[in-house]
């Protein structure tokens, strides 16, 4: 699914470091770490009138990713919430909004990798856009497995939500070339990891399975689905899953803040039915609870 430009976003204001700028003027320096080396961490947030979905969990993951990358001046949760509130207020936004929240290591005094040449403090970017869910969850998506592997901890720990997304982008390019909606990435052992931008679950004989979080982002929506299953006595297991298991599943779905819960109706040309009762139950439990996961900024 190719996202389109939304006219409502033509004049949005973007928060950078400590100020709001019109989108045409919203820029970071060519010396910024994100330009120099993808040296940044990020979160995708979803806004409804009730608040931001799982806000505290997203801010914790941002903090933990930045700590792992040894950022020295990580803004407090309070400061980040204030920046988000300012941005939403400036744009009159409170519903059907996606926020791309990025924290870069900041501007360098000269180009290069060494974080010691970062002497201007980190740079927080709050980019809020009007954006419906990125997938049509009533029709579902088609995916293809890619040759591009997802990072395992011995290369670059997938638990860091960093802005160095090239291996996922290469997987997405493979999916585009094949005319499919997303790339299904395996880990270095050949087990299923995740889609290029969302986590994956399958249903088989009354049990829900999802890959261990060894080589996938431990997604917040993934965590919510696991909790929902536990609260509702639905058997849920983390496991090493193969492509063959997915092809023969009773149902497969993707999870992520950008698309919420999305049925996967085809993998590598094999049709997957979206008729499984348990899958429908989890999707409706999630839909009925989503506003309850929203947290106010102040
Ligand atoms: C690679 C990848 N997997 C999964 C997800 C879904 O995570 P979440 O549910 O926290 O949005 C994302 C979202 O950013 C992602 O980039």
Using CA positions, which residue lies closest to atom 15 of ligand 1?
A: 197
217 lines ligand 1 (CB under 6 A): yes
Alpha carbon of 111 to ligand 1 centroid (Å): 30
Ligand 1 pocket: which of 168, 198, 218, 293 to mutate (most atoms <8 Å of CB)?
198
222 lines ligand 1 (CB under 6 A): yes
Looking from the CA of residue 58, the nearest atom of ligand 1 is 10
41 lines ligand 1 (CB under 6 A): no
Alpha carbon of 84 to ligand 1 centroid (Å): 20
pLDDT per residue rounded down to tens, the chain (298 residues): 889 999 999 999 999 999 999 999 999 999 999 999 999 999 999 999 999 999 999 999 999 999 999 999 999 999 999 999 999 999 999 999 999 999 999 999 999 999 999 999 999 999 999 999 999 999 999 999 999 999 999 999 999 999 999 999 999 999 999 999 999 999 999 999 999 999 999 999 999 999 999 999 999 999 999 999 999 999 999 999 999 999 999 999 999 999 999 999 999 999 998 889 999 999 999 999 999 999 999 9
Q: What is the pLDDT of residue 116?
A: 97
Alpha carbon of 113 to ligand 1 centroid (Å): 26
One-letter-per-residue 3-state SS of the chain = CCCCCCHHHCCCEEEECCEEEECCCCCCCCCEHHHHHCCEEEEEEEEECCEEECHHHHHHHHHHHHHHCCCCCCCCHHHHHHHHHHHHHHHCCCCCEEEEEEEECCEECCCCCCHHHECCCCEEEEEEEECCCCCCCCCCEEEEECCCCCCCCCCCCCCCCECCCHHHHHHHHHHHHCCCCEEEEECCCCCEEEECCCEEEEEECCEEEEECCCCCCCCHHHHHHHHHHHHCCCCEEEECCCHHHHHCCCEEEEEECCCEEEEEEEECCEECCCCCHHHHHHHHHHHHHHHHHEECCC
Ligand 1 pocket: which of 219, 253, 262, 264 to mutate (most atoms <8 Å of CB)?
219
Using CA positions, which residue lies closest to atom 16 of ligand 1?
A: 197
Alpha carbon of 256 to ligand 1 centroid (Å): 5
Q: Tell me the domains of the chain and their CATH numbers.
A: 11-130 (3.30.470.10), 141-294 (3.20.10.10)
Q: What is the pLDDT of residue 150?
A: 97
Q: What is the pLDDT of residue 128?
A: 98
Q: What is the pLDDT of residue 1?
A: 80
199 lines ligand 1 (CB under 6 A): yes
Ligand 1 pocket: which of 199, 214, 225, 258 to mutate (most atoms <8 Å of CB)?
199
Alpha carbon of 124 to ligand 1 centroid (Å): 20
């Amino acid at each position: 699914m190719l996202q389109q430009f939304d006219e409502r976003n033509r004049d949005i204001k973007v928060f950078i470091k400590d100020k709001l700028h019109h989108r045409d003027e919203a820029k970071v320096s060519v010396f910024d770490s994100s330009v120099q080396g993808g040296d940044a961490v990020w979160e995708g947030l979803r806004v409804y009138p009730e608040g931001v979905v799982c806000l505290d969990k997203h801010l914790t993951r941002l903090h933990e990713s930045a700590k792992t990358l040894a950022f020295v001046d990580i803004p407090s949760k309070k400061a980040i919430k204030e920046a988000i509130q300012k941005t939403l207020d400036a744009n009159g936004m409170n519903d059907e909004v996606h926020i791309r929240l990025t924290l870069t290591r900041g501007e360098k005094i000269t180009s290069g990798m060494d974080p010691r040449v970062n002497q201007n403090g980190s740079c927080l970017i709050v980019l809020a856009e009007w954006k419906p869910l990125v997938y049509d969850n009533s029709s579902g998506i088609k995916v293809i497995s890619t040759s591009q592997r997802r990072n395992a901890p011995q290369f670059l720990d997938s638990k860091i939500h960093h802005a160095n997304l090239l291996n996922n982008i290469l997987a997405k390019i493979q999916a585009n070339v094949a005319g499919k909606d997303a790339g299904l990435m395996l880990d270095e052992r050949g087990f299923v990891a995740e889609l290029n931008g969302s986590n994956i679950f399958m249903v088989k004989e009354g049990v829900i399975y999802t890959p261990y979080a060894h080589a996938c982002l431990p997604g917040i929506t993934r965590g919510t689905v696991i909790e929902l299953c536990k609260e509702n006595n639905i058997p849920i297991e983390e496991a090493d899953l193969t492509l063959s298991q997915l092809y023969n599943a009773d149902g497969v779905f993707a999870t992520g803040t950008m698309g919420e819960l999305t049925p996967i109706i085809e993998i590598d040309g094999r049709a997957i039915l979206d008729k499984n009762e348990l899958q429908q139950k989890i999707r409706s439990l999630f839909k009925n609870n989503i506003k309850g996961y929203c947290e106010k900024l102040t």
